[in-house]
Copies of this chain bind each other. A is one copy, B any other.
Amino acid sequence: MPDQVVALGAVTVLGVLEQAYFSLQVIYARRKYSVSPPATAGPPEFDRIFRAQANCSEYFPIFITVLWTSGVFFSQGLSAVCGLLYLYGRLSYFRGYSESAQGRLAPLYFCAQVLWVLIGFSSVGVLLTFCRVYLDVDLVQELCSALDLL
């Protein structure tokens, strides 16, 4: 089993390392701007870094979930590529947001688009598997036959 999902595992470990990097940035920002826990608000520079990390953390479980459903039910290779694009987008988002609220927008839209692609892959993969397992219908084959008839 591990052999068939190792590319997903690799992207997952990279994603965890990225989250660790974001968490460290918040710790540095807490020191730099003297915002001690449990406080979560400070100067705008701190707030942006804090919110950037919070937003990345919030989306991390969604990302891991769709990465794996897409990889297991649709295609490991395509999912892993999308996963790498998403992680790159999140890094740009974090850096952009750290500089200005405006700077977060472009990479945020990019990340959202990659997530939608992974959601689309997952939906198609789950639907095809569902029809094959429970309805005994192979939609891919049906489609190919239909195209042959044309």
A positions within 8 Å CB-CB of B: 1-4, 6-7, 9-10, 12-13, 15-17, 19-20, 36-40, 44, 47-48, 50-51, 54, 57-58, 60-62, 64-66, 69, 72-73, 97, 101, 104, 115, 119, 122-123, 125-126, 129-130, 132-134
CB pair A6 B73 closer than 8 Å: yes
In the complex, A4 Cα to B130 Cα: how many Å?
A: 10
CB pair A126 B61 closer than 8 Å: no
* A-B pairs with beta carbons under 8 Å apart, 24 shown: A1-B1, A2-B73, A6-B129, A9-B72, A9-B122, A9-B125, A9-B129, A10-B126, A12-B122, A13-B69, A13-B123, A13-B126, A16-B66, A19-B62, A20-B62, A20-B115, A37-B51, A37-B101, A38-B44, A38-B47, A40-B51, A54-B58, A60-B61, A60-B62
